[in-house]
Amino acid sequence: MDDCIFCKIIKGEIPSERLYEDEKMIVIRDISPKAKVHILMIPKEHYADITCLDEKRAADLAECLLKLNGLQERLGISKGFRLVVNRGASAGQTVFHLHIHILSGSKMPGF
Ligand code: AMP
Ligand code: ZN
């Protein structure tokens, strides 16, 4: 998508601190961290949010999530992390390209 900030980051048109990349996803540091460690897992395929999953996208996303296990040390989240997915502006979504927030490094308040 031409006007999508995450597509531009994926293409390298906007700089980011890229912590990991493979054919399915990038993992970058969030520009405005809400925790000591705040990173974003961003599938390379553009779709707006978690309600746009189909079988293929769900399988790709599962692959991305499975890789988290092996990336914990590299990402600095091995002591624990919280995953957050915002869906819709009312839930706080501001970038309409699916992404998973990975929060770590400080004690999280309970729900
Ligand atoms: P959400 O509010 O769930 O849509 O999350 C979007 C996230 O993207 C926010 O936490 C922003 O701080 C982050 N963000 C926006 N622009 C950039 C950027 N250029 N590089 C890294 N993170 C960004
Ligand atoms: Zn996009």
Q: Which of 6, 17, 26, 95 to mutate to test the pocket of ligand 1 (most atoms within 8 A of CB)?
A: 95
**Domain layout of the chain by residue ranges:** 5-104
| CA of residue 104 to ligand 2 center, whole Å | 25
Of the ligands numbered here, which is closest to the C-alpha atom of 19? 1
Identify residue 17 by its one-letter amino acid code: E
CA–CA distance, 98 with 73 (Å, rounded to integer) = 24
Q: Given the CA of residue 16, which atom of ligand 1 is nearest to it?
A: 20
Looking at CATH, the fold of the domain delimited by 5-104 is given as HIT family, subunit A (3.30.428)
CA–CA distance, 3 with 14 (Å, rounded to integer) = 12
99 is catalytic: yes
Please report the pLDDT score of residue 8 as a whole number. 98
Please report the pLDDT score of residue 35 as a whole number. 95
pLDDT in tens, the chain (111 residues): 789 999 999 999 999 999 999 999 999 999 999 999 999 999 999 999 999 999 999 999 999 999 999 999 999 999 999 999 999 999 999 999 999 999 999 888 898
- Which residues contact residue 35 at a Cβ distance below 8 angstroms, ignoring those fewer than 6 apart? 82, 103, 104, 105, 106, 108
